[in-house]
A = this chain, B = another copy of it.
Amino acid sequence: MPQIAPTVLQLVQSNSLPALVQAEIEQLILGGELAIGQRINESDLASRFGMSRGPIREALRALEESRLVRSEKNRGVFVREVSVAEADEIYDVREALDQLIGQRVAERASAEQLRELEAVVTDMDQATGKQDIKSYHSLNLKFHDMLVDFAGNARLTESYRLLTKGLLLFRLRGLRGGGGFAVSNTEHKAIVSAIAARDPARAGRLLRRHAVESRARMHKAAGDGSNGV
């Protein structure tokens, strides 16, 4: 029997209900519908998704493990808030991973993938021209998402995404979307060029530095005089 369209049906059949709900709640958080620090009401979510509290609780437990929410006994689960200090810790790890990503991508990216990266950078240039901050921001996220994917290491992707989500949780406090065009696209171009040249060491170095700059921008945006760890 021929497999035809793997749509919603297949999704519901293979993935369990809690897994689906988990993804849904994650979007609610990352999309800002559930604010930082806010308490999450299980019953509300249950009725919202048309199910009982059981699956909701399972999903929340998984989200707790991925540090998107925190749980206080008998008081409920809260959308996690990430302090500057913790964001700093995350960046420390992220810098190391970004270097690895740069190396691996330079070694492994296919010609097709390289073209995709170049396309995104071009799009970002256009967004900059149009002063379209929103597009730029989402393209930027996509760019880094592609990079870690093209590194071809599932565990690395997983670790990196986990970290990135934590950072997102920090960025969302107040200044949604971050400091505009502060992210220079020239950095992206240099990275892609190093990848195109198949120079792992340089690509790694540049991507790490990019993360370092990003951290600096965060500090600036947060307007703090913190030690910077």
Residues of A within 8 A of B (CB): 13-16, 18, 54, 57-59, 61-62, 64-67, 71, 73, 86, 89-90, 92-93, 96-97, 99-100, 104, 153-156, 158-159, 162-163, 166
Contacts and interface: CB of A to CB of B under 8 A. Distances in A.
A159 B162 contact: yes
A53 B100 CA distance: 42
Contact of A61 (B13, B61, B166): B61
Contact of A57 (B58, B66, B73, B97): B58
A154 B15 CA distance: 32
A100 B90 CA distance: 12
A91 B95 CA distance: 17
Contact residues of A: prevailing secondary structure: helix
A112 to B, nearest CB: 21
A194 to B, nearest CB: 18
Contact of A155 (B14, B86, B100, B155): B86
22 contacts: A13-B73, A14-B73, A16-B71, A18-B61, A54-B57, A57-B58, A58-B61, A61-B61, A61-B62, A62-B65, A65-B65, A86-B154, A86-B155, A89-B155, A89-B156, A92-B155, A93-B97, A93-B156, A96-B97, A96-B99, A159-B159, A159-B163
A100 to B, nearest CB: 4
A58 B55 CA distance: 9
Contacts of A156: 89, 92-93
Highest count of chain B CB atoms <10 Å: which of A90, A96, A166: A96
A179 B97 CA distance: 29
Given A61-B62, A89-B156, 6 more contacts: A86-B154, A93-B153, A93-B159, A96-B96, A96-B100, A155-B163
Contacts of A64: 62
B92 A153 contact: yes
A140 to B, nearest CB: 22
A97 to B, nearest CB: 6
Contacts of A166: 155
A179 to B, nearest CB: 23
